[in-house]
Structure 1
């Protein structure tokens, strides 16, 4: 019996993945007070090492980049060592793991930031959005517009984070440019009202993302760097007047840099796939590859039949699964063999203990 391509080995850059099922980055808010991964996190990722690639949860590149309570960082020695335990455990299970580099920008609260500072953003426009701090669900704080020298300094922070990811043993890195966080805020004209070299035209709004990519290519080769975008999403109060033109430029430029993959959230983040008729995903995928980009990773509500079909029809090279991996550590085995899936416990998604984190059962017949 032939094995479907979704469950067969696949070459990504110079990595050989055991299959094309990717564990999407999933924020779980279980780092310690120093934003370090803990032993419970090691168990969680180790359990899911049968994914072709694990993209670890969004991880802030610096203290100013944090937006939610108990999310991990990659800027201190303790954090590097905490992540190293995780990458070692995944590698011992013959898995591959990628770190998603994150700065939330304006989606934060001053309580979470150094010296109660204002969140950083391209423009001083407050988001109609919420975040979690020690008091629970709260409105985000008013942000402060970044100066040009501060933007340049943040690019260096991405480089330091990439260097730290390498020290921690990550096979590759993904730049988070989606879901209304800092890089996405620079890209879209609803949140970027700047009039300098980082605002105005599409080329200027994309400058920060492309400078970050160009700099971290000096740390990881391009074929070990991914980038996540969400062209149709309005998550975290984000939008653009002409998303097709914006993202046509962005994906073409990312393609020219020959990065490992473009990770596309198709539709609204965690919502309908047909959310924005202005965005032609097939066209964006084609542009990325025609300009030299290597692989397309798709994401948003995929189930077995849909994922297999996307691979069969060359609509994607890799499929990212989010919630299904959260509740099914052995998701690949379950999908391949048509085994039933565990139901996720939504009450345990964010923060807490091992319950709803490392206690989901593996399938046994």
Structure 2
């Protein structure tokens, strides 16, 4: 049984939202080979427009940013046109779209990218992760360390792709600084062993993320810019140290983000409630919190505890296009089919039944 707190309206940046639910970003591997959204993408997001704030799947800001095959970009004119169709569909059904800007960094493979080049990263250290490619499962290779003089160009890719998202009709963007990808790699000591101003100290390891956030906010407006973090999440082979080290890194990062007055902070939370509480105390705008493994009765727990303003939904929303209605009426939920999460096509993507069709 969901609590009344979920159904209170909330303003996030420029958006007036009807409730506290949102669509969490989820990679679905349904893009076309040229990085344009796939044929069913507009339908997929339209079906979930009642969630109010829809955060898209990870979308690469450049060819170098692609990690997985069949993922979309937002850096060519064709990709902008493809996302315009998605944004229009979401708006027609009353929702709002933020496109998540995701540079995969070292979590990539040459077989998955259009140029087949070596991945880039903060340091030439392999993630040693299995990754699916068109030829099967491979190991992520050793990335090429970004030269100091290249970093400004990567920051500009984020700025330009944010502008492209707005040109496509999106309501804003989410900067992906979480889940083992490039920005998170710069934060993690075992992936970032640089000796320039982007490595070493807490302040230096945060610099890249902060400069991207500043550039994007300057380009499209802070009230159209969100950011996602995942403190201590070990995805992608990252290690961020003990609880004290993680708290020091992320309290510094979030504290430096505060003056930007971004639309929201999105925390993929592993369970350090003391750290989350400190974010709540310092963060001036909306705080989104998602945890692995929540059941439906726990969706509003962080909101009720005063630790969050919104509760993004992942698999509940993936398997239930009408999840808002189902939660509001305490109706049963469809289960997500793991076998079709990343298989392409309509099956397991746009064919989950609504209550009206059940």
TM range (shorter): over 0.9
CA distance in 2, matches of 1:84, 1:149: 33
Once the two structures are superposed, the pairs formed by residues 202-351 of structure 1 within 5 Å of their partners are 202-241=202-241, 242-267=245-270, 274=271, 280-289=274-283, 293-300=284-291, 301-351=293-343
Deviation per residue, 1:167-198 (Å, 9 max, x gap): 01111110000011000000111111001010
What is the SS of the residue equivalent to 1:263? strand
Deviation per residue, 1:79-114 (Å, 9 max, x gap): 111100000000000101101001000001122235
Aligned to 2:69: 69
Aligned to 1:8: 8
CA distance in 2, matches of 1:129, 1:302: 26
CA distance in 2, matches of 1:266, 1:29: 24
CA distance in 1, matches of 2:236, 2:159: 26
CA distance in 1, matches of 2:279, 2:343: 35
Q: In 2, are the aligned partners of 1:266 and 1:281 still within 8 Å (CA)?
A: no
What is the SS of the residue equivalent to 2:211? helix
CA distance in 2, matches of 1:125, 1:10: 43
Q: In 2, are the aligned partners of 1:171 and 1:224 still within 8 Å (CA)?
A: yes
Aligned to 1:34: 34
Q: In 1, are the aligned partners of 2:60 and 2:103 still within 8 Å (CA)?
A: yes
What is the SS of the residue equivalent to 1:56? strand
Q: In 2, are the aligned partners of 1:302 and 1:321 still within 8 Å (CA)?
A: no
1:253/1:104 CA distance change after superposition, 3 Å: same
CA distance in 2, matches of 1:35, 1:13: 28
Structure 1: runs of 5 or more not aligned = 268-273
Aligned to 1:271: none
Deviation per residue, 1:103-157 (Å, 9 max, x gap): 0000011222354221100000001212221112221111110001111100000
Aligned to 2:347: 355
CA distance in 2, matches of 1:238, 1:26: 20
What is the SS of the residue equivalent to 1:217? helix
Aligned to 2:78: 78
CA distance in 2, matches of 1:109, 1:196: 26
CA distance in 1, matches of 2:42, 2:71: 15
Deviation per residue, 1:288-321 (Å, 9 max, x gap): 32xxx31110012333322223222211101011
Displacement of 1:46 in angstroms is 0.5
Q: In 2, are the aligned partners of 1:99 and 1:165 still within 8 Å (CA)?
A: yes
1:169 is aligned to 2:166: no
Q: In 1, are the aligned partners of 2:27 and 2:71 still within 8 Å (CA)?
A: yes
CA distance in 2, matches of 1:81, 1:327: 27
CA distance in 1, matches of 2:116, 2:348: 32
Q: In 1, are the aligned partners of 2:277 and 2:307 still within 8 Å (CA)?
A: no
CA distance in 2, matches of 1:114, 1:30: 16
Deviation per residue, 1:328-347 (Å, 9 max, x gap): 00111111111000011110
| Structure 1 moving runs of 4+ over 4 Å | none
CA distance in 2, matches of 1:121, 1:205: 13
CA distance in 1, matches of 2:102, 2:180: 11
